[in-house]
């Protein structure tokens, strides 16, 4: 029941964030930036991160028998780079990064996760 509730919350968060980012054209996926991130509640931010984690889990389950290489997917690098992080530590890290870089709020959240958390994590978790 709790998983269903979190899934529903994640879907609602994604829809809310997508709506907040403006009207998307057909085939266009809206990028959530620091602007939407900083305007969102902590619960909505966590739901967004749950959505990303769910996408990872779907791909991991799909490739369970033969995981993709780094050249085929970003998922293995995300996993290694975020080793030791929790949803809360990623959320707090994003909050701190955008607060410290108010001139960079147009940067997409997923890009910030990649460059500020995943890549440094890959260097540490070699």
Predicted confidence (pLDDT) at residue 98 exceeds the cutoff of 50: yes
Asked if the model's pLDDT at residue 40 lies above 60, the reply is yes
**How does residue 16 score in pLDDT terms, banded at 50, 70 and 90?**
very low
How far is the C-alpha of 27 from the C-alpha of 53, rounded, in Å?
22
Inform me whether the pLDDT recorded for 108 exceeds 50: yes
pTM of the model: 0.76
Of 27, 31, 8, nearest to 18 by C-alpha is 31
Greater confidence (124 vs 22) lies with: 124
3-state secondary structure of 112: helix
The chain-wide mean pLDDT, for the chain, equals 83
Q: CA 67 to CA 112: how far, in whole Å?
A: 25
Look-up of token digits 């990872």: 56
């Amino acid at each position: 029941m709790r998983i269903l509730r979190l899934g529903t919350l994640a879907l609602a968060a994604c829809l809310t964030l997508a709506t907040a980012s403006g009207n998307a054209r057909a085939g266009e996926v809206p990028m959530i930036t620091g602007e939407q991130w900083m305007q969102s509640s902590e619960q909505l931010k966590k739901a967004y991160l749950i959505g990303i984690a769910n996408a990872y889990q779907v791909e991991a389950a799909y490739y369970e028998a033969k995981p993709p290489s780094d050249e085929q997917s970003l998922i293995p690098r995300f996993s290694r780079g975020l080793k030791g992080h929790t949803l809360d530590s990623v959320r707090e890290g994003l909050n701190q990064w955008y607060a410290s870089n108010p001139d960079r709020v147009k940067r997409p959240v997923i890009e910030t996760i990649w460059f500020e958390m995943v890549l440094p994590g890959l260097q540490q978790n070699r």
